[in-house]
Structure 1
Amino acid sequence: MADKIQISAETRTEFGKGSARRARREDKIPAVIYGHGDDPRHVLLPGHETALAVRNPNALITLDIEGDEQMVVPKDIQRDPIKPWIVHLDLLAVRKGEKIVVDVPVEVIGEPADGYEYMLDQPSVPVEADALSLPDSVSIDITGRNENALPDALILPEGTELALGDLESPVVSIYEPQEQPLEDEDAEAAEGGSPEAEGEQSGDSEGDSDAE
């Protein structure tokens, strides 16, 4: 289940690029909290502590915002394309007993039937679960399978429901690998040479005979 982490935060009162740069110099991450129809709430989070927390993208975080506690889960993590830091976070406010939709990774269990191989088509799927009990992943068992594994084959934790609209696309494709036929030239080479090469050899022999 999702981690439960406590982080102290402070209200953000300055905005703009200059403010964001100062925040980064102080190892702080700008973030916005939204949800439940409330006005967005802008905060600053401790950089290192927050970066560790959101390594699990569905971490349940309890923010202490100057004495006011608010539970949140990450919804969007904006990272610098070059430097190893988080530029901004969008956080979804959640309450105890509330169900939310999050994307979770799919773990494949087992191996398909003999002579078959598999490909994971959907590395993650959306699920709906209690905000306080978000799963870290869901699994799908392909042991002995010789046909595709569809979403109905996913093994979901208790209290978790699939929030996927398309139920016909495979989560895991099961297939028999096909031998690749040799190219024409390779086939000819395997038989002892191409007609052009044989013709050249024949011509060379005749030329040698004339020379004699």
Structure 2
Amino acid sequence: MSKVNNEIAVQDRKEFGKCASRRSRKSGMIPAVIYSKGKEAKAIMVDADAWKVLAGHHVQMVTLVDGANKTAALVKEVQFNHLKNYVQHIDFLEVDLNADVTALVPVHAHGDCLGVSRGGILEFELHEIEVVCHPDHLPEFIAAEVTSLDVGDSLHVKDLAMPEGVRTDLDPEAVVAHVVRPKEEAEAPAEAAAEPEAIKEKKPEAEAKK
């Protein structure tokens, strides 16, 4: 559960553009922006090594520390360069610690699925769900208990055990995951059609009645 104590040092960003961003990343900093309701967005830079540590724990809430100033923020978007394996940019959203926040939280399967042991395939329809809670209660993930799911069974939003102080406004009947049968092997090709009857050869005119 988030206690908004994932502190990470940041500093103001004074240079902009692709070249400036490239220089920032080469120096070990990640360009970022803090968005705040009713305020202008603030451009900052985040230490890449410090961010890597936090990202490894899949944090949703962080405390951005700029000298004596601390800002509680929600990680809204992380732009990642998959080809070169580095973070390009991060968007943060400042939050009011006295008000609820709305955030997307990943759904993780929990338990050994019965249906899978019987040859079924566990498929997730929702890999993350939107939750509403106080910043202190924002979970890193929502556990989906799949142990008792048999082939043909489904797990719905209403079946999720939400952590204390956390709710979702999604349709309770929405399917989170289900266990399906594996695709059956293609049917054997139809038997070759019966050979057509042999066409009787027409007797040559030379074999007319003798």
TM class, shorter-length: 0.7 to 0.9
Query: Which residue number corresponds to residue 120 of structure 1?
Result: 124
TM-score under structure 1 normalisation?
0.76
| Deviation, structure 1 residue 181 | 6.0
1:58–1:134 Cα contact (<8 Å) kept = no
Decide whether aligned partners of structure 1 residues 195 and 109 sit closer, same or farther in structure 2, where only a CA change above 3 A counts.
same
**Does the CA contact (< 8 Å) of 2:58 and 2:140 recur in 1?**
no
* Residue 141 of structure 2: aligned partner: 137
CA RMSD of aligned residues (A): 2.7
* Structure 2 CA distance for aligned equivalents of residues 178 and 16 of structure 1: 50
Q: Which residue of 1 aligns with 2:71?
A: 70
Structure 1 residue 154 and structure 2 residue 160: aligned?
yes
Mapped to 2, the partners of 1:176 and 1:21 lie a distance apart of: 49
- CA gap 1:23/1:109 in 2 versus in 1, 3 angstroms: closer
* Unaligned segments of structure 1, at least 5 residues: 189-193, 199-212
Do the aligned partners of residues 6 and 115 (structure 1) sit closer, same or farther apart at CA in structure 2, a change above 3 Å counting? closer
What number of residue pairs does the alignment pair up?
Answer: 190
User: Unmatched 5+ residue regions in structure 2?
Assistant: 196-210
Cα deviation, 1:101-138, whole Å, max 9, x if unaligned, reads 22222233343468573322212211112112211111
Q: Does the CA-based 8 Å contact 1:72-1:93 persist in structure 2?
A: yes
Residue in 2 aligned with 1:172? Answer: 177
Q: Match of 1:201?
A: none
Is the Cα–Cα contact under 8 Å of residues 8 and 45 in structure 1 kept in the other structure?
Answer: yes
What's the % identity of the aligned pairs? 24
Task: Please say if residues 106 and 127 of structure 2, whose CA atoms lie closer than 8 Å, have aligned partners that are also in contact.
Answer: yes
Q: Choose which of 182, 185, 188 in structure 2 pairs with 1:183.
A: 188
Deviation at 1:30, TM superposition (A): 1.0
Q: CA deviation at 1:95?
A: 2.6
Alpha-carbon distance change, 20 to 170 in structure 1, aligned in 2, over 3 angstroms: same
Would the alpha carbon gap of residues 169 and 23 (structure 1) be closer, same or farther in structure 2, given more than 3 Å must change? same
Instruction: Specify the alignment match of 2:109 in structure 1.
Output: 108
- The aligned amino acid for 1:174 is V
Which range is displaced more, 83-92 or 144-153? 144-153
State the one-letter code of the partner of 2:106.
P
**1:12 Cα offset (Å):** 1.2
CA drift at 1:7: 1.7
- Structure 1 residues 127-167: Cα deviation after superposition (integer angstroms, max 9, x where no partner): 11211221111123341555322111111001000132x44
* Correspondence 1:1-150 to 2 at 5 A: 1-2=1-2, 4-110=5-111, 111-112=113-114, 117=120, 118-142=122-146, 143=148, 145=150, 147-150=153-156
How far residue 28 of structure 1 moved from its aligned partner, in angstroms, is 0.7
Which structure features the higher share of helix residues?
1
Superposition deviation, residue 94 in structure 1: 1.5
Q: Secondary structure at the match of 1:42?
A: strand
Deviation at 1:60, TM superposition (A): 2.1
CA deviation after TM superposition for structure 1 residue 6, in Å: 1.5
Shift in Å at residue 96 of structure 1? Answer: 1.8
Cα pair 2:131 2:167 within 8 Å, conserved:
yes
- Mapped to 2, the partners of 1:81 and 1:126 lie a distance apart of 26
Q: Which amino acid aligns with 2:174?
A: S
